[in-house]
A and B are shown apart, each in its own frame.
Chain A
Amino acid sequence: MDELELLKKDWKKETNKFPKLSYDDIYKMILKKSSSIVKWIFILSLLEFIFWSVLSFALKDNESIKKFNNYDADYAIIPLTIISYLVLGYFFFVFYKNYKSISVTDSTKSLMEKILKTRRTVKHYVAFNLIFSIVAVVIALFIEFEQDQDLINLVNTAAANGKSLQFYTTFTITVITVLVITILVLLLFYWLIYGLLLRRLNKNYTELKKLDL
């Protein structure tokens, strides 16, 4: 006999082997809170949106940023600020729309796709922020070189000593190293959190996709 047919025969008798939950047992369960991965993704995504928005506010109080505000840099700061808010608004809207479309009554494959899509929106937002931060740092440095008297003095001293190249090289390497380390730390953090949270989902989604190849 086919193995599964044998199993099916027994499976039907399984019914009596489970503890029977009462009306009250089930009623108590519906009052409890879910701990599904969708809920976790929602919480983590909200935290990410908050983190990146608060970060720019927090930096406004920073001494060096205050100094920066005294420069003639509105031509760069205003467009950058507008862009960052527009992008935040756009991503949050797409994220919320995707999140709302997640339905447990969809087919397994479609449910997985929607969860991954929601997660991808936040991932794109983070990627945008990283690129945006790099661009902002580069623009800020150009403005500093143009308008920060201390820095201009340093450049002039280096030029007078014939060490211009050395100065710029050290400066560039330092900036790149700091950026790379920051990005690596962030990526590690993401890899740990989402890697663990979505490992099983990704594995199962790959398995399902393989079936339809």
Chain B
Amino acid sequence: MSQSLEHSFVEQLETNQNIVHKVCRLYTNNQDAHNDLFQEITIQLWKAFPKFRGDSKFSTWMYRVALNTAITLYRKKKRRIKTQEFDSIEFKIKAVEYDDTEEQQLKLLYNAVQELNDIEKALVFLYLEDKNYKEISETMGISEVNARVKMNRIKTKLKTILNP
């Protein structure tokens, strides 16, 4: 592939790398796995890049490839450790402007999201990224109504996890 294509791709991914980091944050729970998934997503994005026509934004296109890689294509090298490692240095939730209660609540919330299954995590991710139900349903391949229903169920599930 031509050098200009490479250059254009790497530059755009460098600018939008946080999308990939966020997907990795949801689907992995330690730094090694995070890096590993980041790399696989990058490879998949690069492989698909020649067909990227630019009729959608690069970032929009990235959501789909990144999620598909995390949910479907990625083959974990090691068995996923069940214990939550969300407090690792890299992911430490900083409580700059939050009081203790809110910080604590957030920690619990992140842990609760970590307990959701892969599909639920994808819906939560798109929701947190401010995607509307049309985009969510198109990305996942389900109907808009069902995406909405599922999202409500996830909210209830999170409530149950937080207040057993």
- Chain A positions within 8 Å of B, measured between CB atoms, are 2-4, 6-8, 10-11, 14-15, 17-23, 26-27, 29-30, 32-38, 40, 103-112, 115, 197, 200-201, 203-204, 207-208, 211-212
Residues of A within 8 A of B155 (CB): 2-4
Residues of A within 8 A of B74 (CB): 36-37
Task: Tell me whether B146 and A36 are in contact (CB under 8 A).
Answer: no
Q: How far is the CA of A27 from the CA of B11 in the complex (A)?
A: 9
Q: How far is the CA of A197 from the CA of B113 in the complex (A)?
A: 25
- Which secondary structure dominates chain A's binding surface? helix
Task: Tell me whether A212 and B75 are in contact (CB under 8 A).
Answer: no
B1-51 residues with Cβ-Cβ distance < 8 A to A are 6, 9-11, 13-14, 17-18, 21-22, 25, 38-40, 42-44, 46-48, 51
Q: How far is the CA of A32 from the CA of B37 in the complex (A)?
A: 13
B90-109 residues with Cβ-Cβ distance < 8 A to A are 90-94, 102, 105-106, 109
Cβ-defined partner of A201 (8 Å) among B52, B72, B113? B72
Task: Tell me whether A23 and B14 are in contact (CB under 8 A).
Answer: yes
- Which secondary structure dominates chain B's binding surface? helix
Task: Tell me whether A37 and B72 are in contact (CB under 8 A).
Answer: yes
Residues of A within 8 A of B158 (CB): 3-4
30 A-B Cβ contacts within 8 A? A3-B158, A4-B124, A4-B155, A6-B105, A7-B128, A8-B128, A11-B22, A15-B18, A19-B90, A23-B14, A30-B10, A30-B42, A30-B43, A30-B46, A34-B43, A36-B43, A36-B44, A37-B72, A37-B73, A38-B73, A104-B73, A105-B52, A105-B64, A107-B138, A111-B141, A115-B72, A204-B71, A204-B119, A211-B142, A211-B146
Q: How many residues of B contact A (CB 8 A)?
A: 69
Residues of B within 8 A of A204 (CB): 71-72, 117-119
Task: Tell me whether A3 and B109 are in contact (CB under 8 A).
Answer: yes
Residues of A within 8 A of B67 (CB): 108
Task: Tell me whether A34 and B72 are in contact (CB under 8 A).
Answer: no
Name the distance in Å between A11's Cβ and chain B's nearest Cβ. Answer: 4
Residues of B within 8 A of A104 (CB): 44, 47-48, 64-65, 68-69, 73
Q: How far is the CA of A23 from the CA of B17 in the complex (A)?
A: 11
- B139 (CB) vs chain A CBs: closest residue: A107
Q: How far is the CA of A3 from the CA of B93 in the complex (A)?
A: 16
- Contact A109 B140, CB 8 Å, known A14-B25, A207-B117: yes
Q: Does B143 contact A (CB under 8 A)?
A: yes
- B51 (CB) vs chain A CBs: closest residue: A105
